Structure 1
């Protein structure tokens, strides 16, 4: 448990946030199934990403973890085995709390010549896996939910011949898309995934840089399309992981909330499929400037944020919906916190995907903000936040959800009294030094 108080002075500082979690996961996975060596700098040393490393070590991949003494940047060296070089693990692969590890690795395991099983912690064993089991089965894989409930543990029968498919995903999900693309590397024929909106495209960008024949298109009906032509060998390379915009979001909101604040966050990924929060905050009137923009490969920039008085539209409300949602799904809890401090109503909809994260984030956000005095209501696919009521300190049960813990730590900066985060250790899932970095700005 950690106790936090209202900020009594502006937040000032120049900081780096940890490496992007999504890119860190993929750098290990793609390096492991490539030929040659992959060197990853800026890797996120969080529980989730370390779970990915552990799983591939069990699959016979040699992975070295060093810290360069000159500047303390972690470097991961992956000695790739190629597409067909993984070995049968001696035990069940354990992914901890990582949905990304579980779902993306499933695409790889489905194509192996050996049997395997994958599972995670109690949270993972409740999260829906039928969404990847269905397309994998259509590709010819044999995968079953051991408990028969569409969740992990998942058991894979090896030696199956996979075929490419055209798959229409009911939701914009980078995990579903990436799982199919990874299985598609081993399949006969092209794999094509249609989504209602373009989800995170880190897989497409990085796989192409490793040598895969993969790209995105827009269908005539407006659907986002990812297309993989198999047959090209993957070759190891150097990967520089930018800072995670999902981690930067907490400090972006903190600066906007606390009068007089000014924070510079350096080297943050601004991939358009992830940077929806910047677009939304710009529409609200936030004073945010991108500096030193680098558009190569994964776009990145320094982000300068200054305290701002935000506003809604002419009806004194702001709506976040539709294609904006996939580009900021992980940032919606912290955006809800910011909305609670505004003098307008904020409506978040089309975000039912929040229900199947580490916690039901619709319920946990509403529960937490309501306990702090916010006028907020849950809907089937989001929430309605009536801003303008002062926040007060409260005890926050994060339900072991790292994004809820960090969001309410930031909420405490605008709340009178003491806010206690009851299970604060869960921030280690994605941002182990979060509280230290926050304290450095106060």
Structure 2
């Protein structure tokens, strides 16, 4: 349990910790490549450490010194069969991407995650991998972990994606690298493209035409140096905090500005936020920049369609933002929220209602009317880091303290979150 309340302004500069999606991929791709890969800005969160723990079980050497990581590997073709079960913790990224990688190995492996992962749907990954020839067994026909994977030689497929999911896309691409033929994926909507960008950085050739990606099989990864940008999903919480807290000004440095991830910036602009940003030269393969946000007079907006994949992880904090905007904000086309760490539609609506928000759930999103003063209370996080951070940011507005039932869950993606909360509230004095 953690009690939080702050009635003053926010002031200060934060260096946002490394992007979780990029950190996962840097470890996994470095382990697949033959040679030495180095990583700067690695996010030492629980999820990313799960990926490191798994690849070490294949005989890959991973040395971690703070935010610097060195991966020394003999290449995926020389990975050894793990002698224990692969535990992926709370990480859907680890579980799904690793499924695609393991499908083409020459050994058997078993993956299991925590209680949350054991409820998250995996057929969206196991079905296309089976079409490629993968041998995968799991609960409910392969829809839930544990997953047992016997590596096999794979054949490329032409796959129209039934869901907009970067994790599914990435799993198929990673299987396609070692498959016979050319793997073709057509997306419903363009999703985050960290995998495509990083594969090129590791020397893999891909072709992208609109929403279609083609990858020729039989390629190998060459070692690379990766600089991980700050996570815009983490930055989003402070962007909202700065916009809704009186007399505030917050600067966020080293933020990833990948166009497939910057939907939160579009929403803030559409709602009238006092937001500015400066792009910087990227030392690696991802765009970066500095963001500045000030207290803002906000108006409602509608969020849906192709914008959703660009901000799916930010919807909990956007819902809080909407409680302070003039008018009715509508979020639609966000069914994917139902199969995150928890059902985030239900969780967000339930917890914000406790605080006095005018919010209702719909089949594919929510409707929020504001501005509404918020009271304090006990927030149930459901073990979901983003619900926990949403509750913590709400404490900047509430008339009485917010109590988080499980603040530790935030370490999944943002282990220094409370340090940064303290810095901004302390600097304001």
TM-score bucket (shorter structure):
over 0.9
Partner of 1:397 in structure 2? Answer: 380
Partner of 2:51 in structure 1? Answer: 52
Q: CA deviation at 1:144?
A: 1.2
Matched, 1:324 2:323: no
Q: List structure 1 runs of 4+ shifted beyond 6 angstroms.
A: none
Alignment map for 1:312-351 (pairs within 5 Å): 312=300, 318-351=301-334
> Pick from 373, 376, 389: which aligns with 2:359?
376
Q: CA deviation at 1:147?
A: 5.5
Partner of 1:268 in structure 2? Answer: 255
Matched, 1:311 2:310: no
RMSD over aligned Cα atoms = 1.1
Matched, 1:137 2:120: no
Q: Distance in 2 between matches of 1:8 and 1:234?
A: 51
Q: CA deviation at 1:4?
A: 1.1
Partner of 2:193 in structure 1? Answer: 201
- Whether the aligned pair in 2 keeps the contact of 1:132 and 1:176 (CA below 8 Å) is yes
Query: Cα deviation per residue 1:277-305 (whole Å; 9 max; x = unaligned)?
Result: 00111111111111243366200001111
Matched, 1:157 2:140: no
Q: Distance in 2 between matches of 1:144 and 1:233?
A: 27
Alignment map for 1:229-248 (pairs within 5 Å): 229-248=216-235
- Whether the aligned pair in 1 keeps the contact of 2:276 and 2:292 (CA below 8 Å) is yes
Query: Cα deviation per residue 1:131-190 (whole Å; 9 max; x = unaligned)?
Result: 0011000001110114646100001123x2201111111111100000000000110011
Q: Distance in 2 between matches of 1:424 and 1:100?
A: 22
Alignment map for 1:281-292 (pairs within 5 Å): 281-292=268-279
Q: Distance in 1 between matches of 2:263 and 2:312?
A: 9
Q: Distance in 2 between matches of 1:184 and 1:365?
A: 37
> Pick from 156, 162, 179: which aligns with 2:171?
179
Matched, 1:79 2:72: yes
Query: Cα deviation per residue 1:187-224 (whole Å; 9 max; x = unaligned)?
Result: 00111111111101000000011010113221xxxxx1
- Whether the aligned pair in 2 keeps the contact of 1:212 and 1:230 (CA below 8 Å) is no
What TM-score does the superposition give when structure 1 sets the normalisation length?
0.94
Q: Which segments of 5 or more consecutive residues in structure 2 lack a partner in the other structure?
A: none
- Whether the aligned pair in 1 keeps the contact of 2:298 and 2:324 (CA below 8 Å) is no
Q: Distance in 2 between matches of 1:283 and 1:9?
A: 26
Q: Distance in 2 between matches of 1:215 and 1:345?
A: 41
Q: Which segments of 5 or more consecutive residues in structure 1 lack a partner in the other structure?
A: 68-73, 219-223, 313-317
Q: Distance in 2 between matches of 1:386 and 1:265?
A: 28
Partner of 1:214 in structure 2? Answer: 206
Q: Distance in 1 between matches of 2:242 and 2:76?
A: 45
Query: Cα deviation per residue 1:228-278 (whole Å; 9 max; x = unaligned)?
Result: 112332111110001000000110000000111111100100101001000
- Whether the aligned pair in 2 keeps the contact of 1:118 and 1:155 (CA below 8 Å) is yes
Q: CA deviation at 1:36?
A: 1.1
Q: CA deviation at 1:83?
A: 3.1
- Whether the aligned pair in 2 keeps the contact of 1:4 and 1:418 (CA below 8 Å) is yes
